Amino acid sequence: MSRAIQQAQLAQDMKRLKKQLQRLCQDRLDVADGKRLRVLDLACGECFEAEMLSKALRDLASKDAHPLDLNVEFVGADIREAEIGRAAERCGSGPEGIDYRFLVKDGQKVAQDADLDEPFDVVFVRHQNYYLGGKEWHALFEQSLEKLAPEGKLVITSYFDHEHELAKGAIQKVGGELIDDIANREARALQTKGKHVDKRLAMFRRRER
């Protein structure tokens, strides 16, 4: 497949994901005037969604009377160094009031990590990989919930319906409370049967302890 086609597909995928994220996040995030919105994209790989996600969250604030007064602090983290390197190279230091940082981290151990000590308003896990190691993902989800600010939200996306259900069950088991679960009906089908780009999305808060 040519690079141009790949780029066009990626752009379409991002457009669809943005639409679904806005549907899921509208009126559910604290995007008050002058706020610093802290976003952790965990297991982000090369993080092709970084720019879209930051802008989508800023656009949520634009519905208010003060369109630009929301600063997004974006941290992308993944266990793979090469992917994190490429993400950092692509996003640079971030234009338009968005501050990007990319870190090599094991998502199973972020709760006590000194680089990530401030809580996050949004933890995003795109295309969680529950099928490739349930135990590991239980730990990663638990740590994601630990990183949330009191009103913070965990948002996941999944390639497969069944994998999504497994991840939802795991998150609820480790202390998450399901807020909403939506299907992306425009999601692009991939070669593997049943696999679609961002086929399902769900949002959670941390259950009160």
Ligand X SMILES: C[S@@+](CC[C@H](N)C(=O)[O-])C[C@H]1O[C@@H](n2cnc3c(N)ncnc32)[C@H](O)[C@@H]1O
Residues of the shown chain interacting with ligand X in the complex, contacts defined by CB under 6 A: 43-45, 78-80, 83, 106-108, 126-127, 129, 136, 140
- Closest distance between ligand X and the C-beta of residue 52, in Å? 12
Q: Is 195 helix (H, G, I), strand (E, B) or coil?
A: coil
**What is the residue whose two structure tokens read 């669809």?**
16
- Closest distance between ligand X and the C-beta of residue 171, in Å? 15
Which residue, 22 or 129, is less far from ligand X as judged by CB? Answer: 129
- Secondary structure letter of residue 65 according to DSSP: S
Q: Which of 36, 22, 13, 43 is nearest to 130 (CA)?
A: 43
DSSP 121-139: EEEEETT--GGG-HHHHHH
- Closest distance between ligand X and the C-beta of residue 76, in Å? 9
Residue 6 makes CB contacts below 8 A (sequence gap 6+) with none
- Closest distance between ligand X and the C-beta of residue 126, in Å? 4
Distance CA 181, CA 146 (A): 21
- Closest distance between ligand X and the C-beta of residue 156, in Å? 10
- Closest distance between ligand X and the C-beta of residue 130, in Å? 10
Which residue, 106 or 181, is less far from ligand X as judged by CB? Answer: 106
Which residue, 63 or 109, is less far from ligand X as judged by CB? Answer: 109
Which residue, 109 or 207, is less far from ligand X as judged by CB? Answer: 109
Q: Do 43 and 107 meet the contact criterion of CB atoms below 8 Å apart?
A: yes
End-to-end CA separation in angstroms for the chain: 50
- C-alpha 151, offset from chain centre: 16
